[in-house]
Amino acid sequence: MTKILKVLGAVVVCLILVLLVLRAIGLDPHERRPGLWLKGDLDTTPVTDWSFTDKYKTVKVQTNSWYLLPHSVTTFCIAYNGQLYLATTRTETREWSRNVARDPHVRLKIGDQLFARSLSVVTDPAEREGVLQARAKKYAQKYPPPGPPFTVYHVVSD
C-alpha cells in the first residue's frame, strides 16, 4: 500500500512540475494546434477603436476550461464600427466556444499585446450581418459565407 502511495505521490509531483514549466513558457497556440497560457504583458489601456487589428489575420484567444487549465486557440478577428468581433462555425464542437459559453472571460493576444476581455454572443441580426460582411471583405471571401452558420462574438471590456 505504501508503495502505491509513493508512486502516486511521484506522479502528482511530476505533473505539478510539468504544469509549472508550461506556465513559465506559456505554450501559445500555433495555427491549428491549441495551446495553454498566452505569454505577454497585460495591456490595461482602454481601447476605443479596434481597427488596428485589420493588419492582423488572426488573434489568439485564451479561455478558461472546466478542468482548470487554460485553453488557447488561433482564430480570425473582425473590426467593425471600431469594435472587435470574433466569428466561428461549428460552435458546439469547438472547445473554446464551449468554454466561453461557461465563462465569457478571455485573454486576447493581438500581435505582442495581451488584453483581458469578455465575449458576448451577438444576437442583433443587423450587427451580425455587418460583422459577417466585414469578415468577407477582410478575408476576400464570398458573402454570404458558404457552409455552416457562424456564431459571432463581440469583444467587450471586463
Q: pLDDT tens for residues 67-89?
A: 989 999 999 999 999 999 999 88
Burial bucket for residue 116 (CB in 10 Å: 0-12, 13-18, 19+): middle
Query: What pLDDT score was predicted for residue 85?
Result: 97
User: Reduced to 3 states, what is the DSSP secondary structure of residue 128?
Assistant: helix
User: Reduced to 3 states, what is the DSSP secondary structure of residue 158?
Assistant: coil
Distance CA 90, CA 124 (A): 19
- Whether 19 is covered by a domain: the verdict is no
Q: Give the pTM.
A: 0.82
Domain assignment of residue 114, given as a range: 29-157
- Whether 84 is covered by a domain: the verdict is yes
- Whether 107 is covered by a domain: the verdict is yes
- Whether 97 is covered by a domain: the verdict is yes
User: Reduced to 3 states, what is the DSSP secondary structure of residue 104?
Assistant: coil
Cell of 61: 484567444
- Whether 150 is covered by a domain: the verdict is yes
Read off the pLDDT of each residue in 46-57 and give the average, rounded to a whole number: 95
- Whether 123 is covered by a domain: the verdict is yes
Count of structural domains within the chain: 1
pLDDT digits (tens, 9 = 90+) for 2-37: 877 666 776 666 666 655 555 555 567 766 778 889
Query: What pLDDT score was predicted for residue 26?
Result: 57
Query: What pLDDT score was predicted for residue 28?
Result: 72
- Whether 88 is covered by a domain: the verdict is yes
User: Reduced to 3 states, what is the DSSP secondary structure of residue 108?
Assistant: strand
What confidence category does residue 150 fall into, taking pLDDT thresholds of 50, 70 and 90? confident
Q: Give the CATH number, domain containing residue 59.
A: 2.30.110.10
- Whether 111 is covered by a domain: the verdict is yes
Query: What pLDDT score was predicted for residue 144?
Result: 66
The angle formed by the CA atoms of residues 31, 36 and 41, to the nearest 5 degrees, is 95
